[in-house]
Amino acid sequence: MDERPTLETIRQAHQHIQGYVHRTPVLTCTTIDQRVGAQLFFKCENFQKSGSFKFRGASRAVLLLDGDQAARGVLTHSSGNYAAALALAAHNRGIPAYIVMPSNAPAVKKEAVKNYGGEITFSEPTMSAREAMAAEVQQRTGATLIHTFNDYRNISGYGTAALELLEEVPDLDIIITPTGGGGLLSGTLIAAKGLKPDVQVIGAEPAGADDAYRSWRAGKLIPLERADTIADGLRTSLGERTFPIIKDLVDGIALTSEEAIREAMQLHFERMKIVVEPSAAVPLAVLLEQEVDVTGRRVGIILSGGNVDLMNKLA
């Protein structure tokens, strides 16, 4: 799939993966609404199979493989959520999954990949080391390399979360998603702007990993040189396929602090009684710090995932 996705592509993806993914619930919380002065609608991808929205994209990518490709298996390099998602999607199709993970990936995410039957190869925790190791594994296995976000198959799958959100809550004024590599934001932009052209779509990013913000402001792709954030899923740069979509369609990128991310996680835990990982708490963190004016608006938030080592993250 080499063409930029459209709303129709995302609708096709939704039909394609329907029998494999959860249609996750949309939850609300009066206490949090009062805190931010708006009505918030949380699309709970933390309840998705494998624990994150990435299972939508992984399922789409795996299902699009032809027979010969599938027989050789799939390969990715990932610090966690996509690794688990691809391992499970491959397991569902009965094909091998080869996963390159950095040695410092969270233990809970390593365990998930093993549980889904993925074969893990560890690398040094740099992008160049991950890519080099993935090339070695691909040469050995002949597996199809699927990039976690810089892949149109994944983007079309990721956009199905926003499609479902707007089917359930069609009169949203704003949608906010976490932003790391930009796959979720790209899919959300295409789906949301296609369904409701006047809806605002905003990316939320930690100030300690602000390449999307800087790229958007500069109008050109600026790679992330250093990431310093609890939100481990967002410690990556936008891709060559995601940035043009974001540049063309996004209404803004908002930044937030580490303190606000922790506070947002705590609110999700204590007030909504749900587990979210730090990356998923970033949109609410942006609102707690009033980085986006949502007063009196109806706001959709995609809670991207719930894979977290609770003992470490709130310490």
Q: Where are the alpha helices (DSSP H) in 53-182?
A: 54-63, 67-72, 81-93, 107-115, 127-141, 152-168
- How long is the chain? 315
Is it the case that residue 258 has pLDDT exceeding 90? yes
Question: Which residues sit opposite 276 in a β-bridge?
Answer: none
Confidence (pLDDT) at 1 = 63
Q: Minimal CA–CA distance to 205: which of 158, 254, 268?
A: 254
Is it the case that residue 232 has pLDDT exceeding 90? no
Confidence (pLDDT) at 313 = 46
Average confidence (pLDDT) over 257-279:
97
Identify whether the C-beta of residue 79 lies closer than 8 Å to the C-beta of residue 179: no
Q: pLDDT by residue (tens digit) across 237-250?
A: 999 999 999 999 99
Is it the case that residue 10 has pLDDT exceeding 60? yes
Confidence (pLDDT) at 243 = 97
For 15-52, b/e burial (b = at least 16 CB within 10 A) is ebbeebbeebebbebeebeeebebbbbbbbbbbbbbbb
Residues catalogued as catalytic: 54, 79
> What does the mean pLDDT of the chain come to?
94
Confidence (pLDDT) at 82 = 94
3-state secondary structure of 232: helix
pLDDT band at residue 227, thresholds of 50, 70 and 90? confident
Phi, psi of 139 (to 5 degrees): -65, -35
Q: Which two tokens stand for residue 186?
A: 């790209």
Output Rg (C-alpha) for the chain, integer angstroms: 18
Confidence (pLDDT) at 315 = 46
In 7-84, the DSSP E strands lie at 26-27, 39-44, 74-77
Q: Is 44 left (phi over 0), alpha (psi -120 to 50) or beta?
A: beta
Q: Which two tokens stand for residue 3?
A: 């063409």
Is it the case that residue 312 has pLDDT exceeding 80? no
3-state secondary structure of 226: coil
Q: pLDDT by residue (tens digit) across 142-166?
A: 999 999 999 999 999 999 999 999 9
Q: Which two tokens stand for residue 274?
A: 């749900």
Confidence (pLDDT) at 314 = 47
Which stretch of 38-52, 126-140, 202-216, 235-249 has the lowest confidence by average pLDDT?
126-140
Is it the case that residue 66 has pLDDT exceeding 60? yes
Q: Which domains does the chain have, with CATH numbers?
A: 7-52+155-313 (3.40.50.1100), 55-145 (3.40.50.1100)
- pTM of the entire structure? 0.95
Q: Minimal CA–CA distance to 76: which of 5, 17, 188, 154?
A: 154
**Dihedral sign from CA coordinates of 58, 60, 61, 67:** positive
Q: Minimal CA–CA distance to 71: which of 80, 62, 79?
A: 62
Q: pLDDT by residue (tens digit) across 96-143?
A: 999 999 888 878 788 889 999 999 999 988 778 888 999 999 999 999
